[in-house]
Amino acid sequence: MREINVSDITSNIKEMCIEAAHFLSGDMSRAFNAAVENESSELGKKVLSQLKDNLKIAGEEMIPICQDTGMAVVFMEIGQDLHFTGGNLEEAINEGVRQGYKEGYLRKSVVSDPIERINTKDNTPAVIHYNIVLGEKVKITVAPKGFGSENMSRIFMLKPADGIEGVKNAVLTAVRDAGPNACPPMVVGVGIGGTFEKCAILAKKALTRPVDMPSDIPYVKELECELLDRINSMGIGPGGLGGKITAMAINIETYATHIAGLPVAVNICCHVNRHAVREL
Amino acid sequence: MDKHINVPFSKEEAKKLKIGEYVYLSGTIYTARDAAHKRMDEALNNEEELPFNIEGNIIYYMGPSPAREGRPIGSAGPTTASRMDKYTPRLLDMGMIGMVGKGKRTDAVKDAVIRNGAVYFAAVGGAGALLSKAIISSEVIAYDDLGTEAIRKLEIKDFPVIVVMDSEGNDLYKAVTAGMQKRI
């Protein structure tokens, strides 16, 4: 059995929070450059050019790409033959977030209670999803989520009779309603199946899949292509100011579900779609 | 065509602005987002003064990231305006001339914009590093305990915005998706 000290988790999460707030991941960078090439509306091009300059300034001067540096969402895929030593894993993750948001000059956007709303002043706690897998490694994904786009996300509990057309309508409705609020050009994460909470997690997880890697399920891949075309014919465009690049990508994840149900979750993300991934 | 205007500005100035126009703002603006709006609304309910003179002024819906040493402010892009919609008509009726944010507004806000001859600008969402470069200075003037949500007085120079709702209530976001704005 392999051992890893939780202090290594803390230091990696700290670095990943800072990295994700200042630099696009490789896949998002390629998608963004393609958007710049393909947009044709005048205001749309102007918005993309501002966003391009913004990315350059962010990286060179270490100013966060967006002032909303998000609530830290952390996916932990933990090999079952790995043993954590040196303390509480969950505390170690939150300590990484705490240090990253402080040392990286990132905004503290978390309140301790949804009604009382007192800022925790260190951006903790993170939202953590654990998954036990085979092996003796841990794969960490840090995906800090801003709420301009999070607020525009939706869950639809469809009926089996609604079928794939129902799924398409759900996704297009969520994107249309999000419009300019979600800082387009956006990335759309979709979860289909499972239960109420499972499909929401699938949608979130879908956003962390490289945007240039389509689903390996043939009908899902086709659905991703069709929906991206239809989203980009809505005319919302960069910044919602008109154009053909409303979304840069749509990633769909599926899971088994109940005979009576067809849950669909649509997690909208902005053009930054922060995610940093490391395997230890 | 791009325009340059100084803030605060008059209703006559506001009337000249039309949706789709790209405008560079210079002068003084104030930041406020969710929590500050709630407090200002409570202050007005208690017949107290607002922390700054709203007449002719602009509120920027923004909560910055912390400034690094030697800089006036951190990343400083717009937040979604619709969360302030509940409080906005009252501020417009008190003479607020404009707002900078991003995203759609309610009909109640639109009606108040028309009623008062105001204007709603969008700054590019997600361009907080770039926009911070147009901010010369930043000073917390109220509600310091709210951290990033405190009210800040900003001096800005050539801060880039787009008119998304003009004083007649024309809405650029609706126009582009309705396919009516072919010139854009």
User: Which residue on chain B is closest to A117 by alpha carbon?
Assistant: B35
User: Which residue on chain B is closest to A234 by alpha carbon?
Assistant: B177
Q: Is pLDDT of B183 > 50?
A: no
CA pseudo-torsion sign B50, B51, B55, B56: negative
Q: Active site residue: B8, B17, B36, B37, which one?
A: B37
Q: Is pLDDT of B88 > 60?
A: yes
Report pLDDT for A36: 94
Are B77 and A66 within 8 A, CB to CB? yes
Q: How many CB pairs under 8 A join A and B?
A: 157
Q: Is pLDDT of A232 > 70?
A: yes
How far is the alpha carbon of A163 from chain B, nearest alpha carbon, in Å? 27
Q: Is pLDDT of A154 > 50?
A: yes
Determine how β-strand A82-85 pairs with β-strand A2-5.
Answer: parallel
- Residues of chain B in contact with residue A35, where contact means CB-CB under 8 angstroms, are none
CB B160 within 8 A of CB B60: no
CA nearest to B123, candidates B72, B65, B81: B81
Look-up: residue for tokens 């980009």? A232
Task: Name the CA radius of gyration of chain B, rounded.
Answer: 15
The Cα-based distances of A167 to A157, A194, A204, A224 in angstroms read 10, 14, 17, 11
User: Which residue on chain B is closest to A40 by alpha carbon?
Assistant: B184
Q: Is pLDDT of B180 > 80?
A: no
The Cα-based distances of A279 to A5, A126, A135, A138, A253 in angstroms read 14, 19, 12, 6, 22
* Rounded CA separation B32/B62 (Å): 6
Measure CB to CB from residue A64 to each of B62, B129, B148 and give the nearest one. B129
Report pLDDT for A184: 95
Q: Is pLDDT of A96 > 70?
A: yes
* Rounded CA separation A96/A18 (Å): 10
- Residues of chain A in contact with residue B170, where contact means CB-CB under 8 angstroms, are none
Q: Tell me: the pLDDT tens digits for B101-150?
A: 999 999 999 999 999 999 999 999 999 999 999 999 999 999 999 999 99
Report pLDDT for B1: 64
Structure tokens at B33: 């987002």
Are A179 and B147 within 8 A, CB to CB? no
Are B65 and A64 within 8 A, CB to CB? yes
Query: What is the average pLDDT across A229-235?
Result: 95
- Residues of chain B in contact with residue A53, where contact means CB-CB under 8 angstroms, are 127, 130
User: Which residue on chain A is closest to B161 by alpha carbon?
Assistant: A47
The Cα-based distances of A161 to A93, A255, A261 in angstroms read 42, 18, 9
Query: What is the average pLDDT across A42-67?
Result: 95
Within its chain, how far is the Cα of B129 from the centroid?
A: 18
Measure CB to CB from residue A148 to each of B76, B80, B124 and give the nearest one. B80
Query: What is the average pLDDT across A180-205?
Result: 97
* Rounded CA separation A26/A24 (Å): 6
Measure CB to CB from residue A50 to each of B64, B102, B127 and give the nearest one. B127
Structure tokens at B112: 């108040």
Q: Is pLDDT of B2 > 90?
A: no
- Confidence band for B181, pLDDT divided at 50, 70 and 90: very low
| Residue percentage of chain B with pLDDT more than 70 | 96
Are A107 and B103 within 8 A, CB to CB? no
Are A107 and B76 within 8 A, CB to CB? no
Considering only residues B1 and A138, tell me which one the structure prediction assigns the higher pLDDT: A138
- Interface mutation target, options A42, A50, A241, chain B, most CBs of B under 10 Å: A241
Q: Is pLDDT of B182 > 60?
A: no
Report pLDDT for A74: 98
Q: Is pLDDT of B173 > 50?
A: yes
How far is the alpha carbon of A96 from chain B, nearest alpha carbon, in Å? 18
Q: Is pLDDT of A38 > 50?
A: yes
- Confidence band for A263, pLDDT divided at 50, 70 and 90: very high
Which class for B75: exposed (0-12), middle (13-18), buried (19 or more C-beta within 10 A)?
A: buried
Beta-carbon contacts of residue B140 (< 8 Å; ≥ 6 apart): B150, B151, B152
Judge whether B37 counts as a catalytic residue.
Answer: yes
CA nearest to B171, candidates A117, A240, A69: A240
How many residues does this entry show for chain A? 280
CA nearest to A121, candidates B123, B33, B147: B147
- Residues of chain A in contact with residue B160, where contact means CB-CB under 8 angstroms, are 50
Strand partners, A76: A130, A140
CA pseudo-torsion sign A149, A155, A161, A163: positive
Report pLDDT for B177: 84
Within its chain, how far is the Cα of A239 from the centroid?
A: 18
- Residues of chain A in contact with residue B62, where contact means CB-CB under 8 angstroms, are 67
Domains annotated on chain B, with CATH:
3-177 (3.20.130.10)
CB A96 within 8 A of CB A17: yes
How far is the alpha carbon of B122 from chain A, nearest alpha carbon, in Å? 9
- Residues of chain A in contact with residue B129, where contact means CB-CB under 8 angstroms, are 54-55, 57-58, 61, 63-65
Q: Is pLDDT of A175 > 80?
A: yes
